[in-house]
């Protein structure tokens, strides 16, 4: 009983702190819709780092990493590569998106792509893609998070109630504080999550005598588990490379990341980001230790997504277990909050303001944004209750969908000749190919994932169709070319100033 | 080194280095190197910024 009480106290604390932070953040708001959606493009460096990384490290990373390393061998270690890739992309793509956003006052992905390609169709398609493919990803966060809370409370808080609490807390602080509240709570979540994972790994590997002893025992008992393609032979190089590209690109192109490019105050944070994001990849060492210890002491668990909570409940004191599980819930919550906010932003700006009420006031926009907030949380709640899925599988489909947007985005930033019909054909056929390959038993050559094939088709059609169609109107392309030229000049100027000082 | 097919050459348990199986060691070694590279790149302000 004492155990249960302490577990529940930890959970409650975990729920109350973000509420307080959220309300505090709300007091800093200046009550404009720009402030609510993108913090008036005024987000500081530390906040940016934590909200990007906490949003980026989701339940997919916290539970999914352990599940994958536990059942498929080392393929999830490709995460080191995707963190670095994500960091570099955030710098290369993100900084340009940030600059254009500031210059032309963009808030959503559709704003930039629709404007660049000068096409309403692109605007709508991009809006639909980001909303549709964010929902499954949101659902896995809720499932993962609620499940952890259920276990951390010793079953005292049932799944449906845990998920409901989860939603209500997120709803309240996002409602009052917008993106600033999310970013502030993400600082707390981010710190708990990164330390929690590493700590769990070091702690649990002591069960078998520490990390080195763990590797020795693995080598003696399960050598096939320590190299690609893993114990079942399914997780080889094709999967290694698919996971890396799709995860990094898909996450970068999610609407929550776009908002986190527009919100940034100062461009220099983009230069530092690849380094910071790379550093935190070391936390996957925690997952590796957890899951391979699991292989040794707890083989054959029915649902591998549960391996971390199961190990903790078996081998760690209850308080430590509850704290680490709360860290896991942080991972889920910090992604879910940003996604709910981002999806409602897209709905408000791209659909409501654009097509229903272009002259809506700030108050009206915020009210509509909050209304969508409630709607989407409700959808995700229902999905979490009735459609549980394997975290990594559902996650890959969601990432595969948003990843398709990288093609027109890179086109917008680096290729003058890209056209709207090229972009549309690319996105739609990319998604089509991905879906066909995903849901029919067609063979996938080279073990690459369906979304990789979608991406290939997307790139090829984008280039070919763009070259075959008429170039974009000169007025639009000139405006962008000029802006990107200015961007490059400013970057050089900054550099020259620095040289002069030195 | 992490994503090209070169990784397949590192895909082995022996030799065990510092107690780590070779594949694990290889991944974290490159993690350390690349993280350092990112830091240097930041310090040098990413060269002339034309990273592509």
Q: How far is CA A313 from the centre of its chain?
A: 28
- Do you find a cis peptide bond into B49, omega within 30 degrees of 0? no
| Window 22-51 of B, Cβ < 8 Å to A | 23-24, 27-28, 30-31, 34-35, 38-39, 41-42, 45-46, 48-51
Residue B17 β-bridge partners:
B20
Task: Give B19's contacts in chain A (Cβ within 8 Å).
Answer: 211-212, 215-216
Task: Decide: A154 and A3 in contact? Cβ < 8 Å.
Answer: yes
pLDDT computed for residue A498 by the predictor: 44
Tokens of A184: 């502030």
Residue A356 DSSP one-character state: I
Nearest one of A150, A235, A245 to A456, comparing CA atoms: A245
Task: Decide: A83 and A278 in contact? Cβ < 8 Å.
Answer: yes
Nearest one of A158, A194, A178, A237 to A56, comparing CA atoms: A194
The DSSP annotation for A327-357 comes to: HHHHHHHHHHHHHHHHHHHHIIIIIIIIII-
pLDDT computed for residue A410 by the predictor: 81
Q: Give the A:B interface size as CB pairs under 8 Å.
A: 96
Nearest C-alpha in A relative to B5: A237
Tell whether A501 is within 8 A of chain B (Cβ). no
| B23/A226 Cβ within 8 A | yes
**Distances in whole angstroms, Cα of residue A447 to Cα of each of A330, A444, A453, B12:** 33, 6, 11, 20
Task: Decide: A243 and A449 in contact? Cβ < 8 Å.
Answer: yes
- Greater pLDDT, B5 or A151: A151
Cα(A291)–Cα(A108) distance, integer angstroms = 38
pLDDT computed for residue A82 by the predictor: 83
Task: Give A281's contacts in chain B (Cβ within 8 Å).
Answer: 31, 35
Nearest one of A264, A255, A365, A366 to A26, comparing CA atoms: A366
Query: Using 50, 70 and 90 to split pLDDT, how confident is the model at B45?
Result: low
Cα(A83)–Cα(A89) distance, integer angstroms = 10
**Distances in whole angstroms, Cα of residue A26 to Cα of each of A170, A181, A361, A423:** 14, 7, 19, 39
Q: Which of A216, A244, A495 lies nearest to residue B3, judging by beta carbons?
A: A244
Cα(B8)–Cα(A228) distance, integer angstroms = 8
Query: Using 50, 70 and 90 to split pLDDT, how confident is the model at B1?
Result: low
Task: Report the predicted TM-score, pTM, of the whole model to 2 decimal places.
Answer: 0.83
pLDDT computed for residue A300 by the predictor: 75
Per-residue pLDDT of chain A (502 residues; tens, 9 = 90+): 566 677 677 777 777 877 888 778 777 776 677 776 777 677 777 777 777 777 777 666 777 788 878 877 777 777 888 888 888 888 888 888 888 888 887 878 887 877 887 777 888 888 888 888 888 778 877 788 787 777 777 777 788 888 888 778 888 878 777 778 778 887 877 787 778 888 888 888 888 877 777 777 777 777 777 766 766 666 667 777 777 888 888 788 878 888 888 888 777 778 888 888 888 888 888 888 888 888 877 777 777 777 888 888 888 887 788 778 877 777 777 778 888 888 888 888 777 777 777 777 777 777 888 888 888 888 888 877 776 555 556 677 778 888 888 888 887 788 877 777 777 788 888 788 877 777 666 666 666 777 777 777 788 887 878 778 777 666 666 777 777 777 777 776 654 444 444 3
pLDDT computed for residue A474 by the predictor: 67
Task: Classify burial at A475, counting beta carbons within 10 Å of its beta carbon; exposed 0-12, middle 13-18, buried 19 or more.
Answer: exposed
- Greater pLDDT, B17 or A192: A192
Cα(A46)–Cα(A52) distance, integer angstroms = 10
Task: Decide: A381 and A167 in contact? Cβ < 8 Å.
Answer: yes
The DSSP annotation for A29-67 comes to: --S-HHHHHHGGG-B-HHHHHHHHHHHHS-HIIIIIHHH
Task: Give A414's contacts in chain B (Cβ within 8 Å).
Answer: 52
Mean pLDDT score, B7-26: 67
Helix (H, G, I), strand (E, B) or coil at B17: strand
Tell whether B6 is within 8 A of chain A (Cβ). no
Task: Give B13's contacts in chain A (Cβ within 8 Å).
Answer: 219, 223, 226-227
**Distances in whole angstroms, Cα of residue A14 to Cα of each of A149, A167, A169, A333:** 10, 14, 10, 11
pLDDT computed for residue A446 by the predictor: 64
pLDDT computed for residue A502 by the predictor: 36
Please identify which residue in the block is written with the tokens 């930041």: B42
Task: Give B35's contacts in chain A (Cβ within 8 Å).
Answer: 84, 275, 278-279, 281
Mean pLDDT score, B6-29: 68
| A241/B45 Cβ within 8 A | no
Instruction: State the average pLDDT for chain B.
Output: 67
Neighbours of B29 (CB within 10 A): 16
* Domain ranges within chain B, ordered by starting residue: 15-44
Cα(A18)–Cα(A9) distance, integer angstroms = 15
Task: Give A223's contacts in chain B (Cβ within 8 Å).
Answer: 13
Task: Quote the percentage of chain B above a pLDDT of 70.
Answer: 48
């Amino acid at each position: 009983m004492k155990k249960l009480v302490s577990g529940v106290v930890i959970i409650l604390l975990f729920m109350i702190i973000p509420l307080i932070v959220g309300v505090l953040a709300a007091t800093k708001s200046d009550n404009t819709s720009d402030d609510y959606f993108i913090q008036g493009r005024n987000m500081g460096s530390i906040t940016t780092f934590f909200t990007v990384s906490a949003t980026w490290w989701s339940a997919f990373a916290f539970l999914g990493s352990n599940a994958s390393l536990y059942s498929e061998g080392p393929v999830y270690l490709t995460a080191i590569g995707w963190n670095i890739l994500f960091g570099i992309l955030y710098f290369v793509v993100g900084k340009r998106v940030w600059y254009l956003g500031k210059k032309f006052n963009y808030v959503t992905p559709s704003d930039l792509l629709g404007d660049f390609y000068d096409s309403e169709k692109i605007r709508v398609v991009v809006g639909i893609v980001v909303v549709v493919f964010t929902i499954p990803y949101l659902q896995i966060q809720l499932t993962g998070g609620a499940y952890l809370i259920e276990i951390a409370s010793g079953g005292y808080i049932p799944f449906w109630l845990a998920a409901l609490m989860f939603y209500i807390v997120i709803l309240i602080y996002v409602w009052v504080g917008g993106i600033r509240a999310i970013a502030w709570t993400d600082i707390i979540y981010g710190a708990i999550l990164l330390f929690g994972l590493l700590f769990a790994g070091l702690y649990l590997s002591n069960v078998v005598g520490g990390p080195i002893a763990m590797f020795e025992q693995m080598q003696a008992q399960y050598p096939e588990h320590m190299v690609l393609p893993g114990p079942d032979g399914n997780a080889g190089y094709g999967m290694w490379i698919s996971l890396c590209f799709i995860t990094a690109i898909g996450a970068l192109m999610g609407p929550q990341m776009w908002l986190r490019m527009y919100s940034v105050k100062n461009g220099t944070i983009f230069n530092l980001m690849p380094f910071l994001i790379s550093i935190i990849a070391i936390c996957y060492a925690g997952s590796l230790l957890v899951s391979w210890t699991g292989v040794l002491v707890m083989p054959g668990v029915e649902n591998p997504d549960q391996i971390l909570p199961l190990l903790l409940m078996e081998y760690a004191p209850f308080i430590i277990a509850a704290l680490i599980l709360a860290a896991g819930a942080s991972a889920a919550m910090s992604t879910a909050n940003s996604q709910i906010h981002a999806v409602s932003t897209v709905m408000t700006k791209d659909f409501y303001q654009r097509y229903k009420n272009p002259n809506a006031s700030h108050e009206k926009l915020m009210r509509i944004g909050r209304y969508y907030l409630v709607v989407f949380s409700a959808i995700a709640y229902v999905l979490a209750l009735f459609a549980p899925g394997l975290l990594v599988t559902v996650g890959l489909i969601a990432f595969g969908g948003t990843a398709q947007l990288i093609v027109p985005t890179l086109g917008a930033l680096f290729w003058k000749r890209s056209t709207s019909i090229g972009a549309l054909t690319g996105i739609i056929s990319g998604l089509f190919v991905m879906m066909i390959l995903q849901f029919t038993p067609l063979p996938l050559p080279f073990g690459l994932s369906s979304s990789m094939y979608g991406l290939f088709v997307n790139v090829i059609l984008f280039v070919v169709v763009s070259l075959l169609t008429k170039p974009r109107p000169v007025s639009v392309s000139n405006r962008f070319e000029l802006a990107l030229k200015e961007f490059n000049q400013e970057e050089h100027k900054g550099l020259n100033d620095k040289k002069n000082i030195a | 080194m992490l994503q090209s097919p070169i990784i397949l050459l590192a895909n082995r348990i022996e030799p065990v280095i510092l107690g780590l199986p070779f594949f694990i060691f290889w991944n974290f070694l490159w993690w350390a190197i690349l993280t350092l590279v990112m830091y240097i790149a930041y310090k040098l302000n990413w060269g002339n910024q034309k990273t592509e």
